[in-house]
Amino acid sequence: MAKVFKRIRSFSPVAASVGLILALLAGSVVSAKAEPAEERVVKIGLQCSWTGTLASTAVPLHEGQLDYIRWLNEQGGISGIKVEGRWEDTRGIVPAAISAHKRLVEWGEVIEANFYDAAIAAVLPRLARDEIPCVYTTGTYSSIFVTKPRWVFGSGPIVENILCAAAEWMQKNWTEKRPLRLGIVHADVPAIPVALKPVRPYLTEREIEFVGTEVLPMLGVIDSTTELLRMAAKEPDWLIVAHYGGSMVTIVKDIARLELQKRGVKLFADPITLDEPLIKIVGKAAEGWYKTAYEPTPADTQLSMMKPLLDAAKRYRGHNPEDVPILYFRGWIGMGVICEAVRIAIEEVGLENLNGRAVRDAFVRIKDFDTGLGPPITITEDKPFYNDFWYVYHIEKGELRRIDRSRISRVFHYVIADNEVRAERL
């Protein structure tokens, strides 16, 4: 020990100072290496309905959204950047949706997904102010979303085109010589009444007699007998039903109890209702209904993304292929489109400059994006949605049997003129 101390004392003051500096530098290098690198991440906000009357429809959708994020991160994320999704259980309640949006913006989201049109309409001024794009993941595009520039993008075509496509399909399968009579029962949402204004003349041109509508509350319907009997008295041949969640259960069961099908009324559910979970709930009451959807089913094994999706659903949720519902596909596809917009935005401005405005601008530059679960997707300012085709199913023995697949013709598009939004014929 004395020899060591003697050697230390033998160093000159300069040498000792140099040694001390080197020791400090070495310590700082070790410390820097020990600190974890800052994680590169993109934040996506989701407004959800895990609970409440809409949960029976919304839960499979949300599972598909979150599972896509998990699967994508397993593949390396977006060009090596992790995707983080945060959800708020708003249940479609407007005040909750506004509060959730504020929290998601503070968290740092660059895009938001929402499942309920009325909630999006309420949040829309804040979306524009905060420059956060929003994707309406469950439904069709509506005039209530129209702004310049677009801040809301839809999963399906505008309501006017959906109604026209349904009527065209019914007329194609109509064999009687008299005009087809069409009625609509729908939830108390603004999109359908607004859409019917330009659609009615179009139906008249095609010699389809529109007998009218019956409107039911969005939430809490416990009996629809009065409205359904009023509609039955108008003697429609076809009845489009656009209602959702727990209220749709009541309506389907009431239609069965009133034996409308035995009265000659054919029933047509819109693309975001009467999916597999609802069919299981209502049981035999769903027999004979027709239903449309934008997405494939597990039976479409030829699709390149089908196996990875079904494998993910099995690993993450324990779902067997036959248990994966259509709305799980919708959530998966919708989140894929969202992440593609984020990828384009990062490519154009870099992660360090990524914000909602960049993602919005990237959305309208999505071109021929292949989800592996359907036709390539292109989105533009004039086509602010990503599905323009659908499948038609017939419900038989509690299962969806596909009977047709067709592209939805674009009869109308939205324009802003004189500070007014309207649908114009193309």
Q: pTM, whole model, 2 decimals?
A: 0.86
Return the pLDDT at 54: 84
CB distance 293 to 374 below 8 Å? no
Whether the predicted pLDDT of 4 surpasses 50: no
Q: How confident is the model at residue 9 (pLDDT cuts 50, 70, 90)?
A: very low
* Closest residue by Cα to residue 274 from 377, 378, 156, 399: 399
Q: How confident is the model at residue 418 (pLDDT cuts 50, 70, 90)?
A: confident
Return the pLDDT at 26: 41
Whether the predicted pLDDT of 124 surpasses 50: yes
Query: What mean pLDDT do residues 20-32 have?
Result: 40
Percent of the chain with pLDDT over 90: 79
pLDDT in tens, 170-222: 999 999 999 999 999 999 987 899 899 999 999 999 999 999 999 999 888 99
Residues 6+ apart with CB under 8 A from 37: none
pLDDT in tens, 314-368: 999 999 999 999 999 999 999 999 999 999 999 999 999 999 999 999 999 999 9
Distance CA 212, CA 235 (A): 11
Return the pLDDT at 33: 46
Return the pLDDT at 190: 79
Report CA dihedral (107, 111, 114, 118) to the nearest 10 degrees: 100
pLDDT in tens, 323-334: 999 999 999 999
Higher pLDDT, 417 or 256: 256
Residue whose structure tokens are 């060009």 = 79
**Mean pLDDT value across the chain:** 90
Residues 6+ apart with CB under 8 A from 350: none
Return the pLDDT at 166: 96
* Closest residue by Cα to residue 419 from 147, 185, 235, 194: 147
Whether the predicted pLDDT of 81 surpasses 60: yes
Return the pLDDT at 14: 41
Higher pLDDT, 95 or 118: 95
Percent of the chain with pLDDT over 70: 91
Return the pLDDT at 37: 54
Whether the predicted pLDDT of 13 surpasses 70: no
Return the pLDDT at 385: 95
Query: What mean pLDDT do residues 113-132 have?
Result: 94
Higher pLDDT, 7 or 312: 312
Whether the predicted pLDDT of 425 surpasses 70: yes
Full set of structural domains in the chain with CATH: 41-158+300-389 (3.40.50.2300), 160-298+390-425 (3.40.50.2300)
Query: What mean pLDDT do residues 391-398 have?
Result: 95
Q: Which region among 29-33, 87-91, 237-241 has the lowest average model confidence (pLDDT)?
A: 29-33
pLDDT in tens, 30-78: 444 444 456 799 999 999 999 988 888 899 999 999 999 999 999 999 9
Whether the predicted pLDDT of 309 surpasses 50: yes
The 10 Å Cβ neighbour count of residue 97 is 22
Whether the predicted pLDDT of 276 surpasses 50: yes
| Chain center to CA of 4 | 74
In sign, the C-alpha dihedral spanning 95, 93, 336, 383 is negative
Burial of 58 per CB tally in 10 Å (0-12, 13-18, 19+) = buried
Whether the predicted pLDDT of 5 surpasses 80: no
Return the pLDDT at 29: 41
**Phi, psi dihedrals of residue 87, rounded to the nearest 5°:** -110, 155
| Chain center to CA of 390 | 15
Sheet holding 152-158, edge to edge: 82-89, 41-48, 111-114, 134-141, 152-158
Return the pLDDT at 60: 94
